[in-house]
Each structure stands twice: as C-alpha cells, then as structure tokens.
Amino acid sequence: MDLKIIISNIFIICMNLILFVHSAEDNEILKTRISHTFTNETGTYDVKAIIQWASSQPIDQHVELPTNKFADFLIWDTWSELDHPPQSNLKQFVESPNHKHRVMTADLNLPIVLTNTSVIIDGVHRIAKAMYESHEKVKCVFIDHSTLIKFRISSPFKGDRSSLIPHLPIEDLFLRLGKDSLPKEESERIETLEEYFTEHLPTAMDKEDYWEVRLERPSTPYGSYMHDPQIRQGLEWWRPGTRVRNIPSEKRFLERGLFALEDQWIPLSWSHYFQRNGSFPQELILLHIDDHQDMMAPRIGKRLDGRYVDFITGDHFSLLKPETVEAAIVSGALGKGSILTPLIWQLEKIHVRHLTLRPTPYTNYALKKALQQDTILGEPLQRISIQCENTERDTLLSSSNYIATSNIDTWLSFIPDNVAIFLHIDMDFFNNRFDGDSSWQEDKGRRIHDPSLNEQQKLLKDIFAGIKRQSLHQRIIDVSICLSPSFFPAEFWEPITEMLFRECKELSILSMNDKATIK
C-alpha cells in the first residue's frame, strides 16, 4: 500500500478518536492564543494579510492539487517556532485541544498558502480536514518570496547588508543557512560553497545559530578576469566605457537573438522568443557551438504543482516569462554551466547537436530528466538535472537527444525535417586559452585549446559552409552569442566576432542592422 495512503488512514483513525472526546474538551478550547504570524529563516510575517492577498488572487493563480500530495505534512512540523523542539503535526493534532478545534472548524473555501519551496504558510489544518473528509483536491496559492517580504513584520538580519563595492550592476546577495547545511571545517566549507554557488564568490559568516552567506559576483575583486592581459581593451571594443565590474550584466538584444559577454544571458533570448510565440514548440533543434556542455544542475527546482522555482530568490521561474528568467540569471540560480538544463526540461522534445573540440566520448545520447537532492538549501528541495544515456541511432529521434562531436558533418547529421532551430555560439569553442582559470600558466597538466587566429577563422568558415550546404540557415529562428571573458582571449574578440556577424548576415541569420560592437 502506498505510504501516503497509509499516513492518511492513520490520520483518519486519529481524527475519529479525537471526535470521540471532542465534545468533552470544548471548555478547554482556545485557552492558548492562536498565532497569526509565520516565521522562517528570512523573518516573521503577517499571516492575516497574506491570506487576504491569497484570497484576492485571480482564479488562474489558484491551483487545485491532489490532497494526498500533502500527506507528508501531517508528519512534518510546519508551524512550530524555530526555537521550539520540533514535533510532528500529527502528534499535535492528537495532543492539542487547540489544534483539534482548528481542524474541525477549518474553512476549505480558503486556499492553502505555500512558498515556492513547499513550506506551508497557512492551511495545514485545512489539509487535515480535507483528508478526514476525503476531499480529493485542495485549493492552493503559491507566493513568491519577493511578494512575501511585503508582509514581513521583522527581519532576522542585522547590520549593514550592502555590497562590499558600491554601485555594482548586480548587487551582493545574502542568504541565511542552517548550521548543518555547511561543513564545520573551513576549507571544506569554502569548497562546498564554491561548488554550489558557481556564479559567485561566496563567503559564510558564522552567526552562532546559522550561517550568513554573502554572494558576490566574481567581477567585484577582479580576480576572475584579469589573467587576460587584454581584457580592458576587449571591453572598450565591446562598448566604450565598460568596466570589469560590468561584465556579468553586459548584454544587448539582436533583432532575432542576443549578444552577451557571458553565457548565462543566453536563455533570456530563448525566453523572449517563447513569449512572442505564446507557447513552447512541440519540438526544437539546438545547434550548440561551445567548448562546454552547459548541462549542469541550476539552482532551480520544481514546486508541488510542477512549475519551476528559483531556489536562491524563492520566486517562480518560467521560460515563457522573460522577467523571471532575468531574475534567475541575476540571482545566480541560472548560470553559465547550466543554461541548457531548463530548456531541455521545459520542452517536450529537443535535439541538441553539440560541436566541441574538447576531448569527449563522441556518441549518441538520450536526454533524461532527473531530480537531484539540494545539499545546501536543504530537504525537500530537489534541483532539475539532466542525465545522458547511450542510445542507438535508429531510436535517436524518438525522444530528446544529444550528439557531441568535433566533426561538422556529424554535428549536422540526424537533423529532423521541418523543425525550427536555435543557434547558440559560445566563442570559447574557437579558443579557450584560459578556461576560467587564473592559474592557467602554472597548471602544466591542463588541456591546451589555443588555436591561432587563422585556424579559428577557417573553422568558422567551415561551420557556416556546412550550415549552408544543408540549407539549415532557413530554419534558424534565434541566434545567441557570448564572448566568454576569462575563457576566450580578448585579443580575438574583434576579428572573430566581426567575421561571425558577416557570416550570419550572408545567410540572413542576422539582420543587416545587427552590430558586433557599439561605437
């Protein structure tokens, strides 16, 4: 028997026992004052105001979910104060006259109010009543954290929380993490933070009962970019007056795409296309020219209704809503190494053709969606991820698939007919001298990918000749390009990018109005 059904049955038995003694305990009910606040690691909130907000939301914001999805909440502790010993809701239902009364008088017309990370702000008693009365579904409203803080009564954060460097295009972020979220040993803690917050320079400050984590962009101390001796000249070519601190925020839109300094902005181009189109296509081809796979797990997961959430901000995420994509990029939930993952998750079928000169097993893969436990922000959060499974060529196109190769003809093989194409070009494909490593000169065992300018230009010519030969340019509906500072040397930015734009314009992939630089 399903565990959640067992839990529900146990709860119904307990509720029948409660009903048996309910009338004898009426005089004891409500001796304890009912709290109308909700407290978590980000502050204390006015629940009455939140309920009013939830009840006023348009009907399309109300979600009906199966009641059994909430069976676990009867075992968890979802409302005790943070400084009180935890005890399960089921235990409190059985032992507390106050909670018994609240279950029996709960109004099921009011929605369950949840954060996007599956924390119930209000409604556990309504869930219990819905289970007892065998309601198959309950009405729910999810609240973004950016909306929730409007109802905050008090904040646990003390002192100055401004960025270390003023006037940054992307301000520092602060998170409060439980003490058991990070290793006690400092070197292990630093390694854990840097592996998780890949878009930031994270530092954890010990606040006795919790860790306060500051997330800085790596451009702030300049250490992640200055190993390229011509970075400042490259930035001046990109846009006069651009400073190193501007690198993570620099982007500009093309008529049918986007050109950015860094790769994390690429999904914003895709999102704008999907928004204009009004829906996701049933099928899509991605021509991915990149030295990296870009299929790491972002700090993005799924909430109870199956929609997506930015775990860093607590706000919802959708590739149909560019404002949510931009917010996730700014927060660092979506970063350079994970840009393909949300795209693969949100499309029914995608054919990824990856052209890379990086040594890799060149084979055919089926793309499988998987959830992985979030080890930092905590249970029950799960991040979306991608698994590549070997598959045969004759079944390749039956589901989402991936081919990685260094051969242009192989790259453009097994392309289904009459399916639209996104073209993504990360310039580190042509030369990845630094690979984001400030110690690149000292690492004698590292891979060297440092072709000359002539070699890069020939490779670029061959790529577009292959696209033209198969008439694929006629189906390209979005072009996204990034320069990848700290990977692709700035000395090549101007010549290779100017040539790339010419090749794209010759095939009408880019508009004649699109410019490689702003001067």
- Which structure tokens are listed for 198? 């890949």
Spans of all domains in the chain: 3-154, 173-216, 231-295+338-370+388-506
Contact, 254 vs 477, CB < 8 A? no
Per-residue model confidence (pLDDT) at position 208: 83
The total number of residues shown for the chain amounts to 519
Per-residue model confidence (pLDDT) at position 56: 93
Per-residue model confidence (pLDDT) at position 164: 80
Calculate mean pLDDT across residues 410-426: 97
E-assigned strand segments in 26-72:
37-40, 43-46, 63-66
The pLDDT mean for the chain works out to 88
Please report which confidence band the pLDDT of residue 167 belongs to, taking 50, 70 and 90 as the band edges. confident
φ and ψ at residue 265, rounded to 5 degrees: -80, -10
Say yes or no to pLDDT of 43 above 60. Answer: yes
CA distance 92 to 133: 19
CA distance 89 to 447: 55
Q: Using one digit for the tens of pLDDT, what is the confidence trace for 369-413?
A: 999 998 898 666 899 999 999 998 888 999 999 999 999 999 999
Which run of H or E residues covers position 354? strand 350-355
Say yes or no to pLDDT of 447 above 90. Answer: no
Calculate mean pLDDT across residues 74-93: 70
CA distance 153 to 179: 24
Q: Using one digit for the tens of pLDDT, what is the confidence trace for 308-340?
A: 999 999 999 999 999 999 999 999 999 999 999
Say yes or no to pLDDT of 24 above 70. Answer: no
The residue ranking higher by pLDDT, 181 or 219, is: 181
Please report which confidence band the pLDDT of residue 25 belongs to, taking 50, 70 and 90 as the band edges. very low
CA separation, residue 215 to residues 27, 197, 212, 300, 378 (Å): 53, 8, 10, 17, 18
Specify the pTM: 0.89
Alpha-carbon dihedral 195, 198, 203, 206, rounded to 10 degrees: -50
Please report which confidence band the pLDDT of residue 476 belongs to, taking 50, 70 and 90 as the band edges. very high
